[in-house]
Chains A and B, each alone.
Chain A
Amino acid sequence: MKTLEIKNIHAKIGNKEILKGLDLDLEPGKIHAIMGPNGAGKSTLSKTIVGHYDVEVTEGDILYKGKSILDMEPEERALEGIFLSFQHPVEIPGVNNAYFLRTALNAKRRHEGKEELNAAEFLREMKKHLEMLGMKADMISRSLNEGFSGGEKKRNEILQMLILQPEVIILDEIDSGLDIDALRAVSEGINMMKDGKRSFLVITHYSRILDYIKPDYIHVLKEGRIIKTAGPELVAHLEEHGYDSIVEEA
């Protein structure tokens, strides 16, 4: 069974239709990369999947493990295992990062009928991730994303992914603004999550990250639709010839 089935989705932001009959299936264990010009609707697609308040779905359906999620609240979708790493993570002053992470993890554990982790257990769990991501220990005692650099915010998104262990992982430009070391660390984090079951949707403008995480499919999103799906060899073609060279497949 597909992990996620996006069927003929039409979605508006305000009065403007952004997604215009988009179809896309995510397969278990696979990494799907999405590329496409600015303003094509890539972020809108990720927002649609997680139930963002900006987006209104006018037609079509999204199935997760065979069930429609369009009527589910954003937090329910999250608890069921859908995770979005935001293109622009928001800052929340005063909310301690570690406290936030533990609250989120325990919400998930409660949802799964597991026991909540206490602070000590949680910190132990977190420490190994921090080291792997090359994050300074003080990042988790600071306010959530407040004053974080662009790269630090992205690492913090990956940290959340590692802690929450979601099943559908959407990464919206996780590679933008990362230095070489950060890109390697973030890619390593993503690769660690590959387990043959999880599905990844990686939105990017650059081939660099794809060299590290080896996508199974490349989808081209243009003007609100997926106009082409191919293997990783498509990246080189796109880099050379641009998006205008792609003609929508029948």
Chain B
Amino acid sequence: MAQEEINKAVSGEYTLGFEIDIETEVVPPGLNEGTIRFISQKKEEPEWMLDLRLKALKKWQKMTEPHWGHLEYEPIDYQSISYFAAPKKGPESLDEVDPKILEAYKKLGIPLEEQKQLAGIAVDAVVDSVSVKTTYSEELQKHGVIFCSISDAIRDYPELIKKYMYSVVPMTDNFFATLNSAVFTDGTFVYIPKGVRCPMELSTYFRINALNTGQFERTLIVADEGSYVSYNEGCSAPTRDENQLHAAVVELIAMKDAEIKYSTIQNWYPGDENGKGGIYNFVTKRGICEGENAKISWTQVETGSAITWKYPSCILKGDNSVGEFYSVAVTTLAQQADTGTKMIHLGKNTSSTIISKGISAMKGQNTYRGLVKIGANATGARNYSECDSLLIGDQCGAHTFPYLESKETQGQVEHEATTSKISDDQLFYLRQRGINEEDAVSMIVHGFCKEVFSQLPMEYAVEAKALLELTLEGSVG
């Protein structure tokens, strides 16, 4: 088959690239103290929050963008980005969501209207810089669960925010996290009280809509002793020639005997096959297992974005605590992903599992970068890592950088890595049995990702499979 034909086939189709035709209020591009004050004022924030933001801005202005990732991209002009965009409220009622936004969310498969809301899933819907709707909030409150936008939380639960925000990802942790600390707009706050098993799946759906704006959300999840929560995030953006910046921060705190399951299906616009357009996705995600027997598990399916820079990590502080990282990262077109995890073992008998599956097609570049660190007191720590790469075609690339830091000789660390190619022979075998080329590719790819998909909640596993199929539509080796 001609290379051109193959490329056309592998490029898939980005079906969520529509624009929501709504009036948007956008602050002019640029980042300075005035911008921060504007955002803070828009959010009707208390003074202390504004002070924290300004502090972060000062620090950030002295920092330089990191470039150690296996990524190539045009320099980002931070002064050309607009840092706040919000849909203007509909004329009828302040509480009502613009019907066009409802329509758009319906198109994304997430009905927000009262009667049609997804059963068993509470959703926080974010468009650009603001949360437009949070479903089931009251229902959840009956169980003492707080599920609201971070902006609301800053006003309504200042003690919790002051206590936990920046406690896992310090304000000036890294360049992008610091930027987020200064300009973060919306995101989700979750608090699960002691001993409560959150009665439904919680989920946030992020939508970038406005032109030339960045999205900087911040999510904070606190699971108190003995509680459990499963949280999912999804995202998408319109098809545009310009690159857009997404720099988010997620902090997770799991107390003694608590468990947080965090799943991501990332489907930001990936740009075209020449690397034009697409989202720059620079994200800091970190969780801490504060108490004994706490468990944090990250599952991510990354199919979108032009650039992905993201290392969801676990600090295993409590004895016997458990960290898990399950990842499928797909790079096709001209996408680049540098992603992985950090497992920091501090407590005794802590254990971590890393399963990373990278799929590269066309000119996609996929890098796994992972760190396993075993502290001096972490006797009995265990880690198992498995990093597998699958190549489709011969213009793409896969790279693996596992790092190990260990002060502890008793720690048990196992690492396995494989790279395989979808071979013409495999495809032909399946085709000879009457399975068409596309189905043959997706069969092999699904087989490759099985261990990760099985970690996703049911509804999302189905979505992830469909998304993967679409992303690699008709891809051929």
Chain B contact residues, CB within 8 Å of chain A: 1, 420, 423-426, 428-437, 439, 443-444, 446-448, 450
CB distance from B418 to the nearest CB of A (A): 9
* Inter-subunit contact B433/A164 (CB<8 Å): yes
**Minimal Cβ-Cβ distance residue in B for A79:** B434
A201 CB to nearest B CB, Å:
14
For B428, the chain A residues whose CB sits under 8 A away are: 52-53, 74
Task: Classify chain A's interface size.
Answer: 20 to 34
Across-interface contacts of B425 in A (CB, < 8 A): 90
The answer to whether residues A164 and B424 also contact, given A93-B447, A94-B447 and a CB cut-off of 8 A, is: no
By beta carbon, the residue of chain B nearest A104 is: B433
Taking A78-B433, A104-B433 as known contacts, 5 extra A-B pairs with beta carbons closer than 8 A to each other, sorted by chain A number, are: A73-B431, A78-B432, A94-B447, A103-B439, A164-B434
Instruction: Give the complex CA separation of A107 and B437 in angstroms.
Output: 12
Residue from the list B432, B443, B444 in contact with A74, Cβ < 8 A: B432
Q: How far is the CA of A164 from the CA of B448 in the complex (A)?
A: 26
Judging by beta carbons under 8 Å apart, are B447 and A160 in contact? no
A75/B435 in contact, CB under 8 A:
yes
Shortest C-beta distance, A161 to chain B (Å), equals: 10
Q: Does A86 contact B (CB under 8 A)?
A: yes
Also in contact, A100 and B430, with CB within 8 A (given A53-B424, A94-B448): yes
With A52-B428, A53-B424 as known contacts, state yes or no: A104 contacts B444, CB within 8 Å. no
Which residues of A approach B to under 8 Å, CB–CB?
A: 50, 52-53, 73-75, 78-79, 83-84, 86, 89-90, 92-96, 99-100, 103-104, 107-108, 111, 143, 160, 164
B422 to chain A, nearest CB (A): 9
Cβ contacts under 8 Å, B448 to chain A: 93-94
Closest to B439 in A: A103
How far, in whole Å, are A192 and B431 apart by their CA atoms in the complex? 25
Is there contact, CB below 8 Å, between B431 and A78?
yes
Q: How far is the CB of B45 from chain A (nearest CB, A)?
A: 49
Q: Which residue of B lies closest to A99 (CB)?
A: B443
- A129 to B447, alpha carbons, bound, how many Å? 25
- List the A side residues contacting B444 at CB < 8 Å: 92, 94-95
Q: Judging by beta carbons under 8 Å apart, are A96 and B447 in contact?
A: yes
Query: Top 3 closest A-B pairs, CB basis?
Result: A94-B447, A95-B447, A78-B434
Pairs across A and B, CB under 8 Å, 8 listed: A53-B428, A75-B434, A75-B437, A78-B432, A92-B429, A100-B443, A108-B434, A111-B434
| C-alpha gap A94/B451 in the complex (Å) | 9
Complex Cα distance A156/B471, Å? 32
User: Which among A53, A89, A104 is the interface contact of B434 at CB below 8 angstroms?
Assistant: A104
**How far, in whole Å, are A95 and B424 apart by their CA atoms in the complex?**
16
Q: What is the CB-to-nearest-CB distance from B28 to chain A, in angstroms, rounded to a whole number?
A: 51
Within the complex, the shortest CB–CB distance from B435 to chain A, in Å, comes to: 5
A86 to B448, CA, bound (A): 24
Of B420, B432, B439, B450, most A-chain CB atoms within 10 Å: B432
A75-B437, A90-B425 known; A95+B443 contact, CB < 8 A: yes
Query: Inside 8 A of B426's CB, which chain A residues have their CB?
Result: 90, 92
In the bound complex, do residue B420 and residue A93 qualify as a contact, i.e. CB atoms below 8 Å apart? yes
For the complex, what is the distance from the CA of A58 to the CA of B432, rounded to whole Å? 22
Across the interface, which residues of B come within 8 angstroms of A53, CB to CB? 1, 424, 428
Q: Contacts A74-B428, A92-B429, A92-B447 hold; do A107 and B423 have CB atoms under 8 A apart?
A: no
| Complex: A94 Cα to B328 Cα, angstroms | 15
Specify which chain A residues have a CB less than 8 angstroms from the CB of B420 in the assembled complex. Answer: 93
Q: Please, which residues of chain B bring their CB within 8 A of the CB of A111?
A: 434
Q: Are A103 and B429 in contact (CB under 8 A)?
A: no
In chain A, what residue has the closest Cβ to B357? Answer: A94
- Complex Cα gap A121–B436 (Å): 23
Bound CA span A94–B425, Å: 16
CB of A241, distance to nearest CB on chain B (Å): 36
User: How far is the CB of B474 from the nearest CB of chain A, in Å?
Assistant: 13
Given A95-B443, A95-B447, answer yes or no on A104-B429 (Cβ-Cβ < 8 Å). Answer: no
How far apart are A76's CB and chain B's nearest CB, in angstroms?
9
- By a CB distance below 8 angstroms, the chain B residues around A100 are 430, 433, 443
Given contacts A52-B428, A53-B424, A90-B425, contact A143 B433 (CB under 8 A): no
